[in-house]
């Protein structure tokens, strides 16, 4: 391995040598026995692709749109928490990197930097990921999104809590880690550790319109839908997007991999709802696999941290370019000149 990583595996290996041990473990961990986290990778690696021959692929277009936002390739920065633990510039660096390569970032609810600061730093499209900790917090957060330039609201539905981690991190947080910067003006909404507590009631399907109204009518994306029945309910509630995700195996252990869920979600909603993939992407080949099974685009989470630790905004930019270059090569070898040519018959699933 050189100091200039040429793959996400090399980027991870180099970056982990620079991370504080607590942050390194925070980024790597799943939950419980890590069964779901590890299955995400296992099942992606079981999918083969079908190379094609004698097709003119000398000119290729990787661009696509997500809810009307144009991006240069279908690889987006997930709302990974704890980013300032990997680099002090955290979410600001990610906004700069995503904009530089022409893609989208999703800002996590617990961002160290405020909604307004990240909105001002962004030069590409930005979405906001929300976890409903309390009605009061939600009522403060969501009206601020549209004026700050955010173009969609992601509601994470697979975080139910709070529940303690089963693995002992040894320390409470990484040096330099900051969170919930958007609420420094509302210390009454934070506990003694600067974290917002969970206050009931939990969100239910019948309150989605309340969220939309608070967010000024921004498109709504549900992150963490894991079965066809919930996907159908999302469609019936006029949700514009679904992120097929198990939170990288970080919230609940025992669920199957995100890539195994993709065909079920696609079958349930068809083309009525845009579908994105999350959990386990480590290469451009993985991006292609997810898109062949129906994803409009993918999110990457842990690689964002590795890019930050490697070199702030430039490290995240390199991470995205590695994935984009690998994805471009797979497109060429499978005879695709645009992303809409990536279809189910371009991959081989286990048993076929």
Q: What is the pLDDT of residues 143-156, one digit of tens each?
A: 999 999 999 999 99
pLDDT tens readout for residues 251-280: 888 899 999 999 999 999 999 999 999 999
pLDDT at 186 over 90: no
DSSP 11-73: HHHHHHTTS-HHHHHHHH--STT-HHHHHHHHHHHT-EE----S---SS-B--EEETTEEESS
Least confident span in 19-28, 121-130, 192-201: 192-201
Establish if 1 belongs to a structural domain: no
307-329 burial string, b = 16+ CB within 10 Å, else e? Answer: bbbbbbbebbbbbbbbbbebbbe
**For helices 21-28 and 302-333, what crossing angle results, to 10°?**
50
Mean pLDDT throughout 281-304? 98
Domain span at residue 104?
8-161+174-337
Q: Measured between alpha carbons, how far is 226 from 79 in angstroms, rounded to an integer?
A: 18
**What average pLDDT does the chain have?**
93
Residue 90 placed within a domain: yes
Residue 70 CA to its chain's centroid (Å): 17
Q: What is the CATH number of the domain that holds 221?
A: 3.20.20.70
Is 60 exceeded by the pLDDT of residue 325?
yes
DSSP state for residue 297 in the 8-state scheme: E
pLDDT digits (tens, 9 = 90+) for 9-20: 999 999 999 999
pLDDT level of residue 26 (50, 70, 90 thresholds): very high
Percent of the chain with pLDDT strictly greater than 90: 80
Residue 305 lies in a domain: yes
CA proximity to 177, closest of 299, 314, 66, 83: 83
Task: Give a yes or no: residue 38 inside a domain.
Answer: yes
202 versus 345: the higher-pLDDT residue is 345
167 domain residue, yes or no:
no
Note the pLDDT of residue 169.
45
> Which residues touch 192 (CB under 8 Å, ≥6 apart)?
none
Helix segments in the chain, DSSP class H:
8-16, 21-28, 35-45, 90-101, 115-121, 135-141, 208-214, 228-236, 258-269, 284-292, 302-333
Q: Does 247 qualify as catalytic in the annotation?
A: yes
Confidence at 1, pLDDT banded by 50, 70, 90: very low
Cβ partners under 8 Å of residue 233, min gap 6: 205
Q: How far, in Å, CA of 79 to CA of 182, rounded?
A: 15
> Which of 87, 130, 132, 247 is an active site residue?
247
pTM, two decimals, is 0.95
* Residue 22 and residue 170 in contact, taking contact as beta carbons nearer than 8 Å: yes
Would you state the pLDDT for residue 161? Answer: 67
User: Is residue 77 domain-resident?
Assistant: yes
Residue 347 lies in a domain: no
As given in the structure block, the two tokens for residue 311 are 């070199």
Helix (H, G, I), strand (E, B) or coil at 299: strand
Confidence at residue 163, expressed as pLDDT on a 0 to 100 scale: 59
Number of neighbouring beta carbons within 10 Å of residue 275? 26
Domain assignment of residue 96, yes or no: yes
Strand 347-348 relative to strand 48-49, pairing: antiparallel
**Candidate from 10-24, 41-55, 153-167, 192-206 with smallest mean pLDDT:** 153-167
Q: Within a 13 Å sphere around the CA of 183, how many CA atoms are in the beta-carbon half?
A: 25
Of the candidate ranges 31-40, 166-175, 292-301, the one whose mean pLDDT is the lowest: 166-175
The Cα 342–Cα 289 span in angstroms is 9
Tell how far CA 248 is from the center of its chain: 9
- Number of compact structural domains in the chain: 1
- Is pLDDT at 170 greater than 70 in this prediction? no
Lowest mean pLDDT among 103-117, 166-180, 212-226: 166-180
Asked if the model's pLDDT at residue 321 lies above 80, the reply is yes
């Amino acid at each position: 391995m050189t100091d200039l990583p040429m793959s996400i595996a090399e980027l991870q290996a180099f970056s982990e040598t620079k991370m504080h041990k607590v942050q390194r473990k925070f980024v790597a961990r799943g939950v419980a026995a890590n069964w779901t986290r590890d299955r995400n990778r296992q099942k992606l690696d079981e999918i083969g692709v079908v190379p094609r021959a004698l097709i003119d692929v000398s000119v290729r277009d990787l661009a696509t749109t997500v809810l009307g936002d144009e991006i240069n390739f279908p690889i987006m920065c997930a709302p990974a928490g704890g980013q300032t633990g990997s680099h002090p510039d955290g979410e600001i660096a990610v906004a700069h990197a995503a904009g530089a390569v022409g893609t989208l970032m999703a800002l996590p609810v617990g961002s160290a930097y405020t909604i307004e600061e990240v909105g001002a730093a962004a030069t590409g499209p930005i979405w906001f990921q929300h976890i409903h900790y309390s009605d009061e917090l939600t009522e403060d957060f969501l009206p601020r999104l549209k004026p700050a330039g955010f173009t969609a609201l992601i509601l994470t539905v697979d975080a139910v809590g709070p529940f303690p981690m089963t693995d002992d991190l040894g320390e409470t947080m990484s040096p330099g880690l900051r969170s919930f910067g958007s609420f420094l003006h509302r210390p009454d909404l934070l506990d003694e550790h600067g974290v917002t507590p969970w206050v009931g009631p939990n969100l239910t399907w019948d309150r989605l319109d309340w969220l939309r109204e608070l967010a000024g009518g921004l498109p709504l994306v549900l992150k963490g839908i894991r079965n066809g029945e919930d996907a159908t309910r999302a469609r019936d509630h006029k949700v514009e997007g679904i992120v097929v995700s198990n939170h990288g195996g970080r919230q609940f252990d025992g669920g199957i991999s995100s890539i195994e869920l993709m065909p079920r979600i696609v079958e349930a909603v068809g083309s009525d709802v845009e579908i994105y993939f999350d959990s386990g992407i480590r290469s451009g080949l993985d991006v292609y696999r997810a898109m062949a099974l129906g994803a409009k685009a993918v999110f990457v989470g842990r690689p964002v941290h590795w890019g930050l630790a490697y070199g702030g905004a430039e490290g995240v930019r390199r991470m995205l370019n590695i994935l984009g270059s690998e994805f471009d090569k797979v497109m060429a070898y499978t005879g695709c000149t645009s992303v809409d040519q990536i279809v189910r018959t371009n991959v081989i699933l286990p048993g076929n």
